[in-house]
Amino acid sequence: MLKKELLNLQYKEIELLRLKTKKKEIESEKEKLEKESQKINNNIESARIKLDEKKKYLQELNNFIKYKQERIAELKKQKESARNREEFKKILRAIAKNEDDIIKTKQQITGIETEVEALKDAYLKVKEQFEFKLNELKEKINELEKEANTYEKKINKVLFEIEEIKSSLPEEELKKFEQMKEKFNGLVFADISTGACEGCGITYSSAEYRELLSKLKAGESKCPYCGRFIYCKK
């Protein structure tokens, strides 16, 4: 014989399992959406980095031209004070070389500026394309977070109720109940309101069912096939 309080304990433990399973499903879905959101953000960030790197290179080229222009200005001053014809020619060659470098770099800059504009368009396009999706994902993630927190509160409430029931029962009763849980895969009490045992699934004959109902006592009556304690929700 088992105390009927244990039936309530079984209810609570099954409810706890259901709540934990649901919370795990919510957290799994939340994690999935977070990964999707991160993937989109990575794509946007990748486009931004490419744009920034090309802008940086463009700036380096412009700085290079500025440096060459300053160098030419210095060489022109040196040309005015050249000590001899050979030195004068050497300075002229250096000026020509720097001017040639500037021309080549300006040609390169034209191509890089085109690339920068293309990368800028690509970045803005991908950002605009996924902006709505990111906001949608953020809302869903927040909703799932709230739902998970709600289930966490429910879980804590049921845990507290389980502890309350356990504290009101003798240790031997709980020990026996735990042993039976292992034997019957967690379902010690089985409902027979459908005409079949909830535990083993066997359907009773009409005569068997009538007899079981007529003699049914909570915590005493057992299924004749699996040995679980039976009760009727009706």
* pLDDT one digit per residue (tens) for the chain, 234 residues: 567 789 999 999 999 999 999 999 999 999 999 999 999 999 999 999 999 999 999 999 999 999 999 999 999 999 988 889 999 999 999 999 999 999 999 999 999 999 999 999 999 999 999 999 999 999 999 999 999 999 999 999 999 999 999 999 999 999 999 999 999 999 999 999 999 999 999 999 999 999 999 999 978 999 999 999 999 987
| Rounded-to-integer distance, Cα 85 and Cα 34, Å | 73
Closest among 9, 1, 7, 4 to 167, alpha carbons compared: 9
A 10 A CB-CB count for 50 gives 14
> What are the residue boundaries of the structural domains of the chain, listed by start?
5-170, 184-231
Please enumerate, as own/partner, the contacts of 66-72 that have beta carbons within 8 Å and a separation of 24 or more: 68/98, 68/99, 68/101, 68/102, 68/105, 69/102, 71/98, 72/98, 72/99, 72/102
**Fold type of domain 5-170:** Helix Hairpins (1.10.287)
